[in-house]
Structures are given as structure tokens and as C-alpha cells.
Amino acid sequence: MLHHLELWVADLGASRSSLGWLLLQLGFEIESTWPSGISYRHGEFYIVLESGSDVLKGQHERCRPGLNHLAFQAGSEQDVDRLTKRALAHGFELMFTQEHPHAGGPQHYAAYLEDASGFEVELVAR
């Protein structure tokens, strides 16, 4: 089990509006904030969004070595659809639109979303 995940972001405000919003929708709660970051907790696991002087300039590129995407269990197929629709109004774009919602295969119901800073998230139906 992961203990925590720390994502360095170029624009903390923008990431709070997209990724932070999504984490709250998925049941995470804000644990703490500081000038260059925020942490979201869900049970024993937490995710940090941080932007500070150590973060190099540039946009996240999911196709380079490193993090490609985060995948979250998002409830039923209807829950995934509802959350996807709301996410589009919070800075996300739907990826793989031609294959949606089965871009991961015929038995895999999910939405693949990308925020304005290039972070991809996958919302997976149970």
C-alpha cells in the first residue's frame, strides 16, 4: 500500500482547481496547506500537490519517463459518467474520445482525463 504520493506542479492554484477538486469529489479531505502546497488525505493515504522554488519550469509530460497517470476507483459506471461530466467544467479534457468509455478494453469502463497542466487521471468503474 502506498503511504503518500507527492506531485510537484507548475501552478498550485490551477492544480488545486482541477486535481484538488477531483480529489475532494473522490472522498479525499484537505489535511493541511502551506504557501507552496496542499495535502489531501483519504484514510491512511495522502496526496500532496506542491509548487515551490525547487520545481523546474515547464509542463508535466505524461509520455516521458516518470508518472504517466493516476487511476482512481470512482464507483459505478453512472458515477464515472457523472463525475466525468463535472470534471470537464473543472479544467479537464476527455482523452481517447473515440474509444470512450472502453479505451482500456471492452471489459474496462473508465474515463481518461487530462488537466490543463498535462496530468492524466483515470476514473475507473467497479
Residue 6 banded pLDDT, cuts 50, 70, 90: very high
Q: What are the pLDDT digits (tens) for 74-91? A: 999 999 999 999 999 999
Q: Are 125 and 109 in contact (CB under 8 A)?
A: yes
Q: What is the pTM of this model?
A: 0.93
Mean pLDDT of 24-35: 97
Asked if omega into 106 is within 30° of 0 (cis), the reply is no
Q: Are 7 and 19 in contact (CB under 8 A)?
A: yes
What nine digits make up the cell of 88?
470537464
Helix (H, G, I), strand (E, B) or coil at 118: coil
Q: Are 49 and 7 in contact (CB under 8 A)?
A: yes
Which numeric CATH code is attached to 4-52+69-124?
A: 3.10.180.10
Would you kindly state where each structural domain of the chain is located, as residue ranges?
Answer: 4-52+69-124
Helix (H) or strand (E) holding 83: helix 77-88
